Protein backbone atom coordinates (compact mmCIF):
# COMPACT_ATOMS: atom_id res chain seq x y z
CA UNK A 1 0.00 0.00 0.00
CA UNK A 2 1.41 3.36 -1.06
CA UNK A 3 1.26 6.20 1.43
CA UNK A 4 0.34 9.64 0.06
CA UNK A 5 2.98 12.33 0.28
CA UNK A 6 2.54 15.16 2.76
CA UNK A 7 1.62 17.47 -0.14
CA UNK A 8 -1.05 15.06 -1.42
CA UNK A 9 -2.52 14.61 2.06
CA UNK A 10 -2.61 18.38 2.59
CA UNK A 11 -4.27 18.97 -0.78
CA UNK A 12 -6.90 16.32 0.03
CA UNK A 13 -7.55 17.89 3.46
CA UNK A 14 -8.06 21.34 1.98
CA UNK A 15 -10.11 20.04 -0.95
CA UNK A 16 -12.48 18.11 1.33
CA UNK A 17 -12.82 21.12 3.63
CA UNK A 18 -13.70 23.43 0.73
CA UNK A 19 -16.22 20.87 -0.53
CA UNK A 20 -17.83 20.56 2.92
CA UNK A 21 -18.08 24.34 3.16
CA UNK A 22 -19.55 24.76 -0.34
CA UNK A 23 -22.08 21.98 0.25
CA UNK A 24 -23.34 23.83 3.31
CA UNK A 25 -22.25 21.54 6.13
CA UNK A 26 -23.60 23.12 9.31
CA UNK A 27 -20.36 23.48 11.26
CA UNK A 28 -18.35 24.66 8.25
CA UNK A 29 -18.27 28.44 8.54
CA UNK A 30 -16.08 30.86 6.63
CA UNK A 31 -14.05 31.43 9.80
CA UNK A 32 -13.55 27.68 10.19
CA UNK A 33 -12.46 27.28 6.56
CA UNK A 34 -9.98 30.17 6.84
CA UNK A 35 -8.47 28.39 9.85
CA UNK A 36 -8.20 25.13 7.91
CA UNK A 37 -6.62 26.83 4.90
CA UNK A 38 -4.19 28.96 6.92
CA UNK A 39 -1.03 29.70 4.97
CA UNK A 40 -2.09 27.32 2.17
CA UNK A 41 -4.23 30.05 0.56
CA UNK A 42 -2.50 29.77 -2.85
CA UNK A 43 -3.29 26.02 -2.94
CA UNK A 44 -6.87 26.66 -1.80
CA UNK A 45 -7.28 29.31 -4.50
CA UNK A 46 -5.97 26.92 -7.16
CA UNK A 47 -8.37 24.19 -5.98
CA UNK A 48 -11.31 26.60 -5.92
CA UNK A 49 -10.59 27.76 -9.48
CA UNK A 50 -9.97 24.29 -10.92
CA UNK A 51 -12.02 21.73 -9.00
CA UNK A 52 -14.91 23.79 -7.64
CA UNK A 53 -15.79 26.14 -10.51
CA UNK A 54 -19.15 24.35 -10.85
CA UNK A 55 -20.09 25.88 -7.46
CA UNK A 56 -19.51 29.45 -8.72
CA UNK A 57 -23.23 30.26 -8.78
CA UNK A 58 -23.77 29.37 -5.12
CA UNK A 59 -23.97 32.04 -2.39
CA UNK A 60 -21.29 30.27 -0.34
CA UNK A 61 -18.85 30.42 -3.25
CA UNK A 62 -19.51 34.17 -3.61
CA UNK A 63 -19.15 34.60 0.16
CA UNK A 64 -15.81 32.81 0.07
CA UNK A 65 -14.62 35.04 -2.78
CA UNK A 66 -15.57 38.12 -0.73
CA UNK A 67 -13.55 36.93 2.29
CA UNK A 68 -9.91 37.97 1.98
CA UNK A 69 -7.27 35.51 3.07
CA UNK A 70 -4.39 37.06 4.98
CA UNK A 71 -1.70 34.38 5.17
CA UNK A 72 1.97 34.84 6.02
CA UNK A 73 4.91 33.67 3.95
CA UNK A 74 8.34 32.98 5.42
CA UNK A 75 11.24 34.00 3.19
CA UNK A 76 14.95 33.59 3.90
CA UNK A 77 17.05 35.70 1.56
CA UNK A 78 19.50 33.32 -0.04
CA UNK A 79 21.95 36.16 -0.64
CA UNK A 80 22.19 37.76 2.82
CA UNK A 81 20.51 35.11 5.02
CA UNK A 82 17.88 37.45 6.48
CA UNK A 83 14.58 35.88 7.59
CA UNK A 84 11.36 37.71 6.67
CA UNK A 85 7.69 37.11 7.36
CA UNK A 86 5.54 38.66 4.64
CA UNK A 87 1.79 39.17 5.12
CA UNK A 88 -0.23 39.29 1.94
CA UNK A 89 -3.84 39.52 0.81
CA UNK A 90 -5.25 36.86 -1.49
CA UNK A 91 -8.81 36.77 -2.77
CA UNK A 92 -10.00 33.18 -3.22
CA UNK A 93 -11.69 32.20 -6.45
CA UNK A 94 -9.92 34.89 -8.47
CA UNK A 95 -6.85 34.82 -10.64
CA UNK A 96 -4.58 37.24 -8.87
CA UNK A 97 -1.29 38.46 -10.17
CA UNK A 98 1.73 37.92 -7.99
CA UNK A 99 3.67 40.80 -6.52
CA UNK A 100 7.24 41.07 -5.33
CA UNK A 101 8.97 41.64 -2.02
CA UNK A 102 12.46 43.20 -2.11
CA UNK A 103 15.11 42.29 0.47
CA UNK A 104 15.98 45.49 2.30
CA UNK A 105 19.69 44.66 2.44
CA UNK A 106 20.63 43.27 -0.97
CA UNK A 107 17.59 44.26 -3.09
CA UNK A 108 16.83 40.75 -4.36
CA UNK A 109 13.17 40.30 -5.37
CA UNK A 110 11.01 37.42 -4.15
CA UNK A 111 7.65 36.62 -5.71
CA UNK A 112 4.66 36.48 -3.36
CA UNK A 113 1.25 35.11 -4.43
CA UNK A 114 -0.83 38.19 -3.54
CA UNK A 115 -0.72 41.83 -2.53
CA UNK A 116 1.74 42.54 0.28
CA UNK A 117 0.40 44.54 3.20
CA UNK A 118 2.96 43.94 5.93
CA UNK A 119 6.46 42.63 6.49
CA UNK A 120 8.67 41.79 9.43
CA UNK A 121 12.38 41.03 9.66
CA UNK A 122 14.02 38.81 12.24
CA UNK A 123 16.76 40.69 14.09
CA UNK A 124 19.59 38.16 14.48
CA UNK A 125 21.12 39.93 17.50
CA UNK A 126 17.93 40.16 19.57
CA UNK A 127 15.93 37.27 18.11
CA UNK A 128 12.88 39.57 17.86
CA UNK A 129 10.74 40.37 14.83
CA UNK A 130 10.88 43.99 13.64
CA UNK A 131 8.26 45.61 11.44
CA UNK A 132 9.66 46.99 8.17
CA UNK A 133 8.31 49.43 5.56
- For the cut 90, the answer to whether the pLDDT of residue 93 exceeds it is no
pLDDT of residue 90: 86
Q: What mean pLDDT do residues 8-16 have?
A: 94
Q: What proportion of the chain, given as a percentage, has pLDDT over 90?
A: 62
Within its chain, how far is the Cα of 120 from the centroid? 17
Residues 6 or more apart in contact with residue 128 via CB below 8 angstroms: 122
- Using DSSP, state whether 101 is helix, strand or coil: strand
Of 74, 78, 76, the C-alpha closest to 39 is: 74
Look up the pTM and report it.
0.75
pLDDT of residue 130: 95
pLDDT of residue 11: 94
Of 92, 89, 79, 91, the C-alpha closest to 52 is: 92
pLDDT of residue 92: 84
Of 99, 104, 98, the C-alpha closest to 122 is: 104
Q: What proportion of the chain, given as a percentage, has pLDDT over 70?
A: 99
Residues 6 or more apart in contact with residue 92 via CB below 8 angstroms: 41, 44, 45, 48, 64, 65, 67, 69
Amino acid sequence: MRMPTAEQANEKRISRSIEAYLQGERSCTTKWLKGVIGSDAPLANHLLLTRFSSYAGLPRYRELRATPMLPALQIICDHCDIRYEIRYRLALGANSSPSFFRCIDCGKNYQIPGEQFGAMRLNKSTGLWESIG
